C-alpha cells in the first residue's frame, strides 16, 4: 500500500457551503439567555403551575406574598439557608461590599460573614416558596 502525501493534506480552498458549528446549550460561555435556562427553586409543581399560568407581572408576584402576620413556616434558619446566606454575604464582602461589624483584624470573608450572622447584621432576605405558589419573606434578623 503506497502512501500518498496529498491524500491527508489540508485543502487549499474550503467549501463555502459548510456551516460553522453552532453553540450548544451545554456550553456555558455561549449559553442563550432565554427563559428556558432559568433555574427555579422551591416546589417544582408550584413552579410548573406558575409557568403554565404565565402570570409573570409584578402585580401578580406581589399578590402571591404571604403577609408577615400570616406566615406559617418556622422562624428557624435551615442549614441550607444558612449556607446560602453565608456564601452570598462572603462573596459580597470579597467584592468590597461594606462590612457591618467591627472586623478586628479579620481578613477571611467567610469568617466576617459568620460573625455578621451571629450578630444578626446581614442585610439579606430569605424567600421561602410554598407548594401553592405563594412565598414568605424572612429577614436574617428574624430567623434564629
Which domains can be identified in the chain, with CATH numbers?
Answer: 76-143 (3.90.940.10)
CA-based nearest residue to 60, from 139, 138, 135: 135
pLDDT above 50 for 37 = no
Q: What is the pLDDT of residue 63?
A: 82
Per-residue pLDDT tens digits for 60-92:
667 899 999 999 999 999 999 999 999 999 999
Residue with cell 461589624: 101
CB under 8 Å to 89, separation ≥6 — which residues?
A: 113, 116, 117, 122, 124
Residue that is written with C-alpha cell 457591618 in the block: 100
pTM: 0.60
Q: Is 54 a residue whose pLDDT tops 60?
A: no
Query: Which cell numbers hold the place of 95?
Result: 467584592
The residues, ordered by sequence, that sit 6+ positions from 122 with a Cβ below 8 Å of its Cβ are 85, 89, 100, 113, 116, 140
**What percent of the chain has a predicted confidence (pLDDT) above 70?**
57
Q: Which residue in this structure is represented by grid cell 432559568?
A: 38
Which of 20-24, 32-36, 96-100, 119-123 comes out lowest in average pLDDT? Answer: 32-36
40 pLDDT tier (thresholds 50, 70, 90): very low
Q: What is the mean pLDDT of residues 94-121?
A: 96
Residues near 100 by beta carbon (within 8 Å), at least 6 away in sequence: 116, 121, 122, 123
Q: How does residue 59 score in pLDDT terms, banded at 50, 70 and 90?
A: low
Amino acid at each position: 500500500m503506497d502512501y500518498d502525501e496529498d491524500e491527508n493534506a489540508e485543502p487549499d480552498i474550503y467549501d463555502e457551503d459548510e456551516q460553522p458549528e453552532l453553540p450548544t446549550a451545554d456550553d456555558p460561555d455561549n449559553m442563550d439567555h432565554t427563559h428556558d435556562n432559568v433555574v427555579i427553586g422551591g416546589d417544582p409543581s408550584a413552579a410548573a403551575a406558575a409557568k403554565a399560568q404565565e402570570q409573570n407581572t409584578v402585580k401578580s408576584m406581589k399578590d402571591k406574598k404571604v403577609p408577615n402576620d400570616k406566615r406559617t413556616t418556622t422562624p428557624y434558619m435551615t442549614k441550607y439557608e444558612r449556607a446560602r446566606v453565608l456564601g452570598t454575604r462572603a462573596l459580597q464582602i470579597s467584592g468590597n461590599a461594606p462590612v457591618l461589624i467591627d472586623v478586628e483584624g479579620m481578613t477571611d470573608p467567610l469568617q466576617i460573614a459568620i460573625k455578621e450572622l451571629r450578630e444578626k447584621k446581614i442585610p439579606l432576605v430569605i424567600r421561602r416558596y410554598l407548594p401553592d405558589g405563594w412565598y414568605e419573606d424572612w429577614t436574617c434578623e428574624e430567623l434564629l
